[in-house]
Structure formats: C-alpha cells, structure tokens
Structure 1
Amino acid sequence: MKKLIQLLPIVVMTLLITSCSSVKVAADYDKEANFDNFKTFAFFKTGIDKAEISDLDKRRILRAVETELLAQGFTKSENPDLLVSIFTKSRERVNIYNNGYGAYGYGWGWNPWYWNNYNNTSVTTRTEGTLYIDLIDANKKELVWQGMGTGLLSSRSVEKKEAKINEFVSKIMEKYPPILEEK
C-alpha cells in the first residue's frame, strides 16, 4: 500500500503530461509578400537533404506537408510559385520529480513517516524535437513564410510516430496563410 501511495503522484504527472497536445507552434512571415499569388508548390530537395533525420521520417513529413497544402487548394507543379523546405532540431529534456513528503511530520506530535524519511526522486529523459517548415518564393528565391512546431517525440511504434508527425505538420500549417494585419 505504501508503494502505491508513493507511485501515485508520478503516475498522475505522467498522465497529465502525455494526455495534453504537446505541440507548440509559431510562425513568421514577410509582410511584403503577396500570399494570394502562391498557388503551386514543389519540394526544395537541396534544403530537405540537409535535414538531419532519417529518410523515412523525411518522407513522412513531406507527405504530411503535401496533404496539408493540397487541402488548402495548392497544386504540386514542376514550375512552382513556392518551394517547400524543412529543417529539424532535437534535444534531450530532463525532468526531475522530487517527492520529499513526510520527512519531519506535521508539526507537534507523532508522524508515522518520521523514521522512514521518504525522499523519492525520479529522473526521466525525453527527446524534444523542433520542425521548421520553410516556404520560399520560387521566383525571388527568398523565404516568405516559416512555421515552427516544438514538442515531445515518440518512437514507440511506426503508427504513433506517423501520427505525431501528422500532428506537428497540421498544427504548423494552421498558421498558413498568415492573417495580414490591416494598416
């Protein structure tokens, strides 16, 4: 029973962390670009080749981007208006949970945990990844829009990995086209 009570906070924290949508997104764009002129796209192979992830994950990301752009009314073309490139980064994230309850009691009186001195510390590591999707004006060869998504990566199964990639790309592409501010 004591072990169950000790593990309960860790289980609750794990459930809270894993149940929420964990992708944070942001976007930046060129205010001078006319996004209404962009109707076609192609992938920028030179930029994509530089992404430091497996070819399988690159293909998953590119399929997800293509699906999102086609859903927005774009057409894939040999002579595109936009070039699509991706860039990735990852880092290890260390979480420390220290549960030192019951060390010296509740004040005056007897404490059943006093002699046990429960100091439970757990350390977990997870990989946090960032995906950048760059949209480049094909005629000017200038970056006109960049979306970025950051979240925890999952490599448990192919299906979960693919679902996570689709979530990343979908959340990022919700920011395109930018809502231009009225002057």
Structure 2
Amino acid sequence: MFKHIVLTALLLLISACSSSPDWDYDKSVQFGNYKTFAWAPDAKLQASASDYQINELMEKRVRAAIAQTLSSQGIALVEQANADMLINYHASVESKIEADTLNTSYGVRWNYWGWGVQTHTTTREYDVGTLVIDVIDNASKQLVWRGAKEGRLRNKQTPEQREASINKTVGDILQNFPPKVQ
C-alpha cells in the first residue's frame, strides 16, 4: 500500500514546487552535431530495483514530453542504430521533514520572577521527487549531458494537470540542451 501512495506521489513529481534545473555536460562535445535520438535500452522511470514503480501513464507522458521538446529543437526520433544520441531518464522520490516553530505567546509575570515564552513546533513529512534526463553519445556510449529538476510532490491532480506539469518540467530541464556556449 505504501508503494501505491509513493507511486501516486511520484506521478505528481513534475507538479512539484518549482526549483531550478541543474545541468552538467562534457564541454568537449560538439552538441550541434546531434540531429537524431533514440531511447536508451534501459530508459524508464524505474532505473533500479530501489527506485519506485511508475505506471504506464506517467511513462508515456515523460516520453512524449521529451520527444516533443527535442523535436521542437529539430532533433528527430529514429531507430537506435541510426541515432546520434540516446536518451535515458529516471526518477527518484525522497521523504523530507519540514518544521515550523511559532512563538505563540510570551511575556513577564508580575506575581513572581521570570520570563515566559511559549513556542509551538509543527512538523510535516513530504516527498520530493527528482526527474533526471541523460544524453548519451551513441557512438561512444558515454554520458555527455545530464539535466535534473526536483520539486515537492502534490496530490489530487487531474490527468491534464499532470501532463502540463510534466511538459513544464521536461521543458525546464531541456532548456539548456544543447548547452549554450558561454
């Protein structure tokens, strides 16, 4: 049952509170030479046995968002043997704790010595999801670019809201692919 709850949370991964994407890449690679892509053989949201399960709906949304974003950049989806680069992706979920402390009252008592402060602390556990997209050079089989974005997961979204969230997150991650030369 817990895995199903986490699955639901992961489905909402992309609708998380916004964070800035993180990128890393090989500066020696000529990214302008990449015109085609294919899915890496192990491209799926569950990258290892320790990752959470994802349903096929989320898998389709992530693939569609990546394919659409790359296509809009003029990079075509082809068979693996003909691809310049391979795209891999995976997701993870991590539980975090948030604590808020509020001074609810304070003051001085006149009938005896002392100072009183009353505080109230509340804690909440929440899940943070991370989506990672990797670009692998098909000829060398080496990782040449990685982008990731994390955010706080939200519950109770419609399929349309989930799709919009995924599209935005994938777009945010891939906004720096190919990397901007500085």
Q: TM-score, normalised by structure 1?
A: 0.74
1:22 is matched with 18
Deviation at 1:133, TM superposition (A): 0.2
Q: Partner letter of residue 171 of structure 1?
A: D
Q: Deviations over 1:20-53 (max 9, x none)?
A: 9512211111111111110011111323264344
- 1:1-183 aligned at under 5 Å gives the runs 22-48=18-44, 50-51=46-47, 52=51, 53-54=53-54, 55-78=56-79, 79-103=82-106, 105=107, 119-157=119-157, 158-181=159-182
Where relative contact order (Cα < 8 A, 6+ residues apart) is larger, the structure is 2
CA distance in 2, matches of 1:172, 1:24: 9
Residue 57 of structure 1 and its aligned partner are, at CA, apart by 1.6
Q: Distance in 1 between matches of 2:19 and 2:165?
A: 9
The structure whose residues are more often strand, as a share, is 2
CA distance in 2, matches of 1:138, 1:155: 38
Secondary structure of the 2:92 match is: strand
Is the 2:36–2:75 contact (alpha carbons within 8 Å) kept by the matching residues of 1?
Answer: yes
Q: In the alignment, is the contact (CA less than 8 A) between 1:136 and 1:144 conserved in 2?
A: yes
Provide the secondary structure at the position in 1 that maps to 2:166. helix
- Name the Cα RMSD after superposition: 2.6
Letter of the 2:125 counterpart: T
For residues 41-94 of structure 1, give each alpha carbon's deviation from its aligned partner in whole angstroms, at most 9, with x where no partner exists. Answer: 111132326434413222211111111101111111111111100021111121
Deviation at 1:164, TM superposition (A): 2.3
Identify if the C-alpha distance between structure 1 residues 161 and 123 changes in structure 2 by more than 3 Å, giving closer, same or farther: farther
Higher alpha-carbon Rg: 1
Q: Secondary structure at the match of 2:42?
A: helix
Q: Secondary structure at the match of 2:69?
A: helix
Q: Deviations over 1:79-133 (max 9, x none)?
A: 1111100021111121111212313x2x587xxxx99x76433222221011110
Cα separation, 1, equivalents of 2:38 and 2:94: 29
Instruction: Tell me: CA distance 1:130–1:49, structure 2 relative to 1, closer, same or farther (3 Å).
Output: closer
Q: TM-score, normalised by structure 2?
A: 0.75
Identity between Structure 1 and Structure 2 (%): 30
